[in-house]
Structure 1
Amino acid sequence: MAIATTTSSSSLTIRLLHPNPNTNPAPRSLQLLRCHGVSKAARACVRDDLVVPRSPYFPVDSAAGQERGPSPMVMERFQSVVSQLFQHRIIRCGGPVEDDMANIIVAQLLYLDAIDPTKDIIMYVNSPGGSVTAGMAIFDTMKHIRPDVSTVCIGLAASMGAFLLSAGTKGKRYSLPNSRIMIHQPLGGAQGQETDLEIQANEMLHHKANLNGYLAYHTGQPLDKINVDTDRDYFMSAKEAKEYGLIDGVIMNPLKALQPLPASS
């Protein structure tokens, strides 16, 4: 069986072509399954509910423009592991901070808050940073929900990743011993007319002042020191991050990270 698509200025049609006209058509359920072979754009036009959101956990092949997804068996096992962790109120902030990742984490935080507001949530952070607005969506949700959010750095927490690490509930912010933490000022660029450049520059200054103010509050450091330290990339070890106030402890015993944490009063 083949799939043919025809398009016009106002519609798109998908026809299932059977090699033998006397052959009975495939069941409707099978036809829907086989429709997954068409492009994402075509599926979006025909059935919105068949479009699966792109996962932030697997990169996109820039050359082909498609996700380098794993085999179905590996994907199933990965989803099973993530699901098991989620049942234990453990979520993952891994990879660049962008809108898709933020939407997933926000939904997970809201769901865990709804089912039990008395139990802590543990968020593992391994991120080089990314979008300020996407990160602030996660940050605001962490502060909005009722459970305490314990943050644990594994690998690297840089830029917005370090900000989210420090935004965990005070007394419940941790790092593994060989992790690296880095803070700096927001990065960005703009082009256009002079007025447009001024608007973008003011927006960057707003984000810088906002983030540095929160970092001063989370760490207990003077705002002037935060402004100086974030002027360039400022890398820290786990021990140095604890002394700086970004985290509250370094996990030397791996089992400690899996122990239930009591909610703060």
Structure 2
Amino acid sequence: MPVGVPKVPFQVDEEEDATWIDLYELLSRERAIVLGKEIDYEISNSIVGIMIYLNMEGEGEEFHLFINSPGGSIMPGIAIFDTIGYMTSGVHTICIGQAASMASLILAGGHFNKRSAFPNAVMIHQPLCSFFDGNSLSHSWEIDELLELRNMIVNMYVETTGKPAVTIYLDLERDDLLLPREAVSYGLIDSISSDPFGFLDDQMIKRPITIPRRNRENGEPSTADEFI
């Protein structure tokens, strides 16, 4: 049986009873976003929408994008990459498992000196053909468009890593697995995280939250500390 998104208690100051909300909603309230699946239009639109809202709500306050993704479709990935570039709030991208294909590009697109990875994370450059979902090309104009997108992706890597275009072209012709230290040397990230959750507001996350009595009667915990 699949496990759904867990719910956690959240209490608004003006209300006596706690409200149960999705874990990811609580994280977004703490200015943390998780990219934890294959990139498609649905997940891209969701992440772009959250980033725009956080940028409008607290301009100048940085937020964190945690990445554990095998990559995915090119245009939804570019939408996330471009949105990060237009944010006036600092965007800290963090690889927490793997960042492959488009996910590695999004990781590299974080703001200056705000790109990092967990000590055991893995970043993977994949052949450029993997960006295009393996679709066959039957017309010359399709080939031309693919080449334009190919050049666009290479230029994005050039801008974010500082590597020459010829190096990027060659590296994207094969699978290239990078450990965190190698990713720092390559320019994909700026550092290896030593305290990746240091941004969290401990008073916000760990404060006791009174749960309605009906929940206690069902044997559920009486404070949020028992959940987190």
TM range (shorter): 0.7 to 0.9
Name the residue aligned to 2:103. 161
* Consecutive unaligned residues in structure 2, runs of 5 or more: 9-19, 203-228
- SS of equivalent residue, structure 1 residue 199: helix
Q: Residue 119 of structure 1 aligns to a residue in which SS? A: coil
Compute the TM-score of the two structures, normalised by the length of structure 2: 0.76
Larger Rg: 1
For 1:209-220, list aligned pairs within 5 A.
Answer: 209-220=151-162
SS at match of 1:95: coil
Residue 148 (str. 1) matches residue 79 (str. 2) = no
The 5 A counterparts of 1:25-104 are 70=3, 75-77=6-8, 79-104=21-46
Given that residues 30 and 200 in structure 2 are in contact (C-alpha distance below 8 angstroms), is that contact kept between their aligned partners in structure 1? no
Query: What's the offset of the Cα at 1:258?
Result: 4.1
Shift of residue 254, structure 1, vs aligned partner: 4.4
* Equivalent position of 1:62 in the other structure: none
Alignment-derived partner of residue 242 in structure 1: 184
CA distance in 2, matches of 1:228, 1:90: 34
Please state whether the residue corresponding to 2:139 is helix, strand or coil: helix
Q: Contact between 1:190 and 1:200, CA under 8 Å: does it hold in 2?
A: no
- Give the direction of change, closer, same or farther, for the CA distance of 1:98–1:126 in structure 2 (3 Å limit): same
| Identical-residue share of aligned pairs (%) | 30
1:246-257 aligned within 5 A = 246-256=188-198
Q: Aligned-pair RMSD on alpha carbons? A: 2.2
Contact 2:113 2:190 in 1 (8 A): yes
Per the alignment, residue 57 of structure 2 pairs with 115
Matched, 1:173 2:115: yes
Residue 181 of structure 1 deviates from its aligned partner by 0.2
Change (3 A) 1:223 1:169: same
1:127-178 deviation digits (Å, cap 9, x = unpaired): 1100000001111211222211110001000000000000000100000010
Amino acid at match of 1:123: L
TM-score, scaled to structure 1: 0.66
Retained in 1: the 8 A contact 2:6–2:23?
A: no
Q: Given the superposition, is the C-alpha separation of residues 231 and 105 from structure 1 closer, same or farther in structure 2, using an over 3 Å criterion?
A: same
State how many pairs are aligned.
188
Change (3 A) 1:206 1:259: farther
Determine whether 1:134 maps to 2:72: no
SS in 2 for 1:252: coil
Aligned equivalents of 1:259 and 1:226: distance in 2?
39
8 Å CA contact 1:125, 1:153 repeated in 2: yes
Gaps of 5+ in 1: 1-67, 261-265
Q: Compare relative contact order (CA 8 Å, sep 6+) and give the higher one, 1 or 2.
A: 2
- 1:198 has 2:129 as partner: no
Following TM superposition, by how much is the alpha carbon of 1:81 offset from its aligned partner in structure 2, in angstroms?
1.8
Preserved CA contact (<8 Å) 2:30 2:201: no
Amino acid at match of 2:115: R
* Change in 2 beyond 3 A, CA 1:104/1:208: same
SS at match of 2:111: coil
Q: Spell out, residue by residue over 1:34-64, the C-alpha distance to the aligned partner (whole angstroms, 9 max, x if none).
A: xxxxxxxxxxxxxxxxxxxxxxxxxxxxxxx
Counterparts of 1:156 and 1:76 in 2: how far apart (Å)? 25
Q: Match for 1:76: what amino acid? A: K
Q: Residue type of the partner of 1:248?
A: D
One-letter amino acid of the structure 2 residue matched with residue 111 of structure 1: Y
Tell me the residue number matched to 2:16. Answer: none
